[in-house]
Structure 1
Amino acid sequence: MEGKWDFRLGDDAVFAARVDDNNAVKLPNVPASFSKILVSPSSAPVGKAPADYSPIVPPNEALKTFTVPDDLKLELVLAEPHVKQPLHMTWDERGRLWVVQYLQYPYPAGLKMVSKDVFWRAVYDKVPPPPPQGEPGLDKITIHEDTDGDGVLDKHKTFVDGLNIATSCALDRDGVWVMNPPYLLFYPDKNHDDVPDGDPEVHLQGFGLEDTHSVANSLRWGPDGWLYACQGSTTSSAVMRPGLDKLPVHSMGQLIWRYHPATRRFEIYSEGGGNSFGCEIDAEGRVFSGHNGGDTRGFHYTQGGYYQKGFNKHGPLSNPYANGYFAAMGHANVPRFTHNFVIDAGAALPDKYRGHLFGVEPLQGRVVEADFSNDRSSFKTKDLGYSITSTDPRFRPVEIKAGPDGAIYVADMYEPQIAHRQHFQGLIDKDNGRIYRLSAKNSSLSKQADLGKKTTPELVEHLQQPNKWQRQTALRLISQRRDRTVLPLLKKNIEAGTGQFSLECLWATYQLGGLDDAFAQKCLTHKEPLVREWTVRLSGDMPLDLAAAANATGRAVPGPRQVQDAHLMGHRFGETR
């Protein structure tokens, strides 16, 4: 790696200290918050955090430090010693919480840093082998369950440990997908005993490790059956499918990528943004990520789109013919940052919160609520207040998700500070972590039904649930069962239905291989705009007769979104020619 360096192994630390002579480089036509380059002197790791940091508030007293709106309540559901450094949350069909504990951060186990640049992009002496080979790391994936219905997770087990910079996981029918850069791994568990059947399968390799607060992260299922995830701003990748590819897919910096396990297709979905560390997919299947800067709550990513970023620090767009880039979602000037957010579509909050954005602000130690509204072909946000604030300066929310009950869950790393430079210098507390649930003040607890015990037709009916998590999980189970006997039911629901239910049934039909040419052309004249738009999107991922589909788009139901349908078809038709 060429360029200016903060230090090289063996350098005198005095000469490693950099003069701060390039603190704010401005680019034309780029907001100042994207062109500012922050630089700090080097220092070697110094061990434990200073003793004058704020004292630790015990978990059983933590709730006293919080303030939430009068119509909401906050509950502690999990804390140390059962969870430490929680980075990622997901739930299985039984309602059990799976947590990725990022205990190895910030340094990969078994590697030696050879050098790093002024942006803390490191070069290591080797590429680590996939687990369990090589030196085991401290990261692990744990499962937590509420067995007595009191809302507290009281049963705990470890699915896998010894991971090394593991950032997220996604659940499949017969195993678990794990993002453990530089690898995307699949741990088989065919007997569903929560114990891996053996070593993981390596599906992708080559994700960068230069900056462990910027590595590939936030793995999750999309409604189209692809796994979606992010890559942060200060890593680069050369991704290959072992045994299939002769040449890698190169990328540098922030982007959204996706992988289709059944076909083993990997692609970059969209490029640009902030330090992408959080992937939200809303009820209509649109992809978002937050930002590690100010003046916006994040980015709305469209397939094939290019977005603004800090070009001085993160390099140019990969496509020299991109004809510019899209901006972040519009917002007032606000301090940095909300790197991760959820767009609420649950049922455990009062109706007035429905459709709002809830974002974590780890620097300020709070959760912000923002209005979320249309802005031309994208969206804009407007802050409405703070859903969670705390007098405890150690409250560091880093992950936020809507759970099976429709409540909002927040993972707190519980750190005296949240700053990667200080973390790299050893100022990090790995002994603590908490997870909270935010819900309506008058809401009551109910035990989550095991969706895995439902028949496939029952799961189809479950696609009508008002809770987004319930619908998304039912869709995942329908897809993973591969039960094509429900295709007639799904198609009937699409043709007769409107709104969200028809869209959910379209996604299920596609994932079961039922969206053929004839039915796709019917969907292109559907009265529901979202069905038309998603039929166009899905047509680009499979061998449809696009010429006939384009003609059908021209005959679509007149309405305010007909031009958008035609534009989307033109884009997809051009992609596949």
Structure 2
Amino acid sequence: LDGDGKADRREVLLTGFGVQDSHLFPHQFTRAPFGWFWLAQGAFNSGKVTSSKGEVTDFPSTRMARFRPDGSFFEPTSVGPCNIWGLVLTGEGEAFIQEANDYGYPVMPFHEYGLYPGCADRLAKSYQPPFPVQAPDFKMGGTGLSGLALSDVGVWPKGFDGVMYVANPITSKVNAIRQHREGSGYRLEHLDDFITCDDPFFRPIAMTMGPDGCLYVIDWYNKIISHNEVARNHPDRDKQSGRIWRIKPKGFVPQPVPDYTKLSSADLVARLGSKVTADAHLAWQTLADRRPEEGTTAALSAIVEDASASAARRIQALWVLAEHGQKVGPLAERLLADPNRNVRREAVNALRHFGAWSPHFEALAKLSADPDGEVRAAAIKALGESSA
């Protein structure tokens, strides 16, 4: 509040998380569309999470969860896999997670309420089919895949853009995977390693694409990486060093990063759909945090309706409108026939989270036969939660 860049107060929103294993505490905190925050928990922790309203939710073993920013609602949203140390949200709202132990899931789509085989299979519901192996033909090596980052298309050079980079601290590498859309899923292509290092202390444990267009890699910088094989008090355990690497293509000029809170709403609207995904996401989030303005609402509505705008720009404008509490029902329903599957899915999600159900029930019901599996799943979840 005093502008010094440090927190002025602390407020407890959620309590009761398991603390049985310190390297599996809640992590991957990510702001998601429609007023949610996501997080993940590791395999050996189990707790009973109490919301700010006093509601208690069982939260055992590895899984994803979502909560409201005020802590008023908390809900587990997956069963498994086995440690989720990587999460990516794209500009068009697709989400990808990672299974750490190299069981064939170095990257996979995240579907709410899905069953991801691994450490929590005992908690599966009878109606949950297991998510299929994504990499049946190759292994990454090691048992601690620890981060994901998707390079921006149109920002990084060809051959390096649109690539999912995988932090692999066990092998001291950053691996690379290209996803090829096939049917309602992806085929993974194992590319040459992006980074190799002969320094045994190099341990990439997390990555993200920054709003400047560069890749940032957190390097734990430790000779010993595992918590199992070597005593906690071993003298080779370095508890002081650590590095952050910024990686950019040769000749690339990083995009200037503003203070988004000081940009005008018009400037933020202009950044929606930016090819630098982190830039676009920060613009969406900053707009969503502001009070709705008549001129901004009109501009956002026009973007959503503009078929010539990029899918990412239209989707992010819809996210802001929905989080502002605007009546997005008629607008979202018109998007249900859009040729872009991600636009259709996010329109369904807007109706699911903020829509008035009865006028749109019939339109949603038609999407139960949509050619895209993710759109069908979103429609079925929405219909199942409706009161129509």
After TM superposition, the score normalised by the length of structure 1 is 0.61
Matched, 1:349 2:161: no
Distance change >3 Å, CA 515–CA 352, structure 1 → 2: farther
In structure 2, what is the equivalent of residue 157 of structure 1? none
Distance change >3 Å, CA 555–CA 573, structure 1 → 2: closer
The partner residue of 2:68 within 244, 260, 263 is 260
CA distance in 2, matches of 1:383, 1:481: 42
Gaps of 5+ in 2: none
- Higher Rg of the two aligned structures: 1
- Residue-by-residue CA offset, 1:213-237 (whole Å, 9 max, x unaligned): 1111121211333111111111112
Distance change >3 Å, CA 417–CA 387, structure 1 → 2: same
Q: Shift of the alpha carbon at 1:514?
A: 1.5
Matched, 1:495 2:305: yes
Alpha carbon RMSD of aligned pairs, Å? 2.4
Would you say the 8 A contact 2:328–2:354 is kept in 1?
no
In structure 2, what is the equivalent of residue 329 of structure 1? 134
Higher-RCO chain (CA-CA 8 Å, sequence separation at least 6):
1
Q: Shift of the alpha carbon at 1:351?
A: 2.8
1:499-510 mapped onto 2 (5 Å cutoff) = 499-510=311-322
Secondary structure at the residue paired with 2:18?
coil
CA distance in 2, matches of 1:404, 1:533: 25
Secondary structure at the residue paired with 2:228?
helix
Would you say the 8 A contact 1:462–1:474 is kept in 2?
yes
Distance change >3 Å, CA 435–CA 287, structure 1 → 2: same
Distance change >3 Å, CA 422–CA 432, structure 1 → 2: farther
Q: Shift of the alpha carbon at 1:405?
A: 1.4
Distance change >3 Å, CA 423–CA 470, structure 1 → 2: farther
Would you say the 8 A contact 2:213–2:255 is kept in 1?
no
Secondary structure at the residue paired with 1:525?
coil
Q: Shift of the alpha carbon at 1:550?
A: 3.5
- Residue-by-residue CA offset, 1:84-139 (whole Å, 9 max, x unaligned): xxxxxxxxxxxxxxxxxxxxxxxxxxxxxxxxxxxxxxxxxxxxxxxxxxxxxxxx
Would you say the 8 A contact 1:525–1:553 is kept in 2?
no
Point out the structure with the larger helix share: 2
Secondary structure at the residue paired with 2:186?
strand
1:13-412 mapped onto 2 (5 Å cutoff) = 190-198=1-9, 200-242=10-52, 244-246=53-55, 248-261=56-69, 264-294=72-102, 295-310=104-119, 314=120, 316-319=122-125, 321-334=126-139, 335-337=141-143, 338-345=145-152, 348-412=155-219
Q: Shift of the alpha carbon at 1:332?
A: 2.4
- Residue-by-residue CA offset, 1:453-495 (whole Å, 9 max, x unaligned): 2211221111132100110000010011123321111111111
Q: Shift of the alpha carbon at 1:447?
A: 3.6
Distance change >3 Å, CA 293–CA 513, structure 1 → 2: same
In structure 2, what is the equivalent of residue 482 of structure 1? 291
CA distance in 1, matches of 2:83, 2:11: 28
- Residue-by-residue CA offset, 1:424-462 (whole Å, 9 max, x unaligned): 622321111111111111113454233332211221111
In structure 2, what is the equivalent of residue 52 of structure 1? none
In structure 2, what is the equivalent of residue 453 of structure 1? 262
Would you say the 8 A contact 1:298–1:328 is kept in 2?
no
Q: Shift of the alpha carbon at 1:517?
A: 2.9
Distance change >3 Å, CA 565–CA 288, structure 1 → 2: closer
CA distance in 2, matches of 1:344, 1:227: 23
Quick one: which amino acid aligns to residue 86 of structure 2?
G
Q: Shift of the alpha carbon at 1:366?
A: 0.6
- Residue-by-residue CA offset, 1:40-68 (whole Å, 9 max, x unaligned): xxxxxxxxxxxxxxxxxxxxxxxxxxxxx
Secondary structure at the residue paired with 1:205?
coil
Quick one: which amino acid aligns to residue 461 of structure 1?
A
Distance change >3 Å, CA 340–CA 515, structure 1 → 2: farther
Quick one: which amino acid aligns to residue 336 of structure 1?
G
CA distance in 1, matches of 2:258, 2:98: 32
Q: Shift of the alpha carbon at 1:559?
A: 8.2
The partner residue of 1:429 within 238, 247, 254 is 238
In structure 1, what is the equivalent of residue 337 of structure 2? 525
Would you say the 8 A contact 1:495–1:526 is kept in 2?
no
- Residue-by-residue CA offset, 1:327-369 (whole Å, 9 max, x unaligned): 3423423123423211222665213222111011100001011
Would you say the 8 A contact 2:115–2:124 is kept in 1?
no
In structure 2, what is the equivalent of residue 41 of structure 1? none
Would you say the 8 A contact 1:346–1:405 is kept in 2?
no
In structure 2, what is the equivalent of residue 85 of structure 1? none
Aligned length: 378
CA distance in 2, matches of 1:238, 1:299: 28
In structure 2, what is the equivalent of residue 58 of structure 1? none
Quick one: which amino acid aligns to residue 250 of structure 1?
D
Quick one: which amino acid aligns to residue 426 of structure 1?
N
Distance change >3 Å, CA 568–CA 445, structure 1 → 2: closer
CA distance in 1, matches of 2:255, 2:148: 25
Secondary structure at the residue paired with 1:234?
coil
After TM superposition, the score normalised by the length of structure 2 is 0.89
CA distance in 2, matches of 1:249, 1:273: 19
Gaps of 5+ in 1: 1-189
Q: Shift of the alpha carbon at 1:306?
A: 1.6
Q: Shift of the alpha carbon at 1:296?
A: 3.2
Distance change >3 Å, CA 552–CA 195, structure 1 → 2: same
- Residue-by-residue CA offset, 1:190-219 (whole Å, 9 max, x unaligned): 333212223x11000011111111111121
Quick one: which amino acid aligns to residue 462 of structure 1?
R
CA distance in 1, matches of 2:89, 2:45: 23
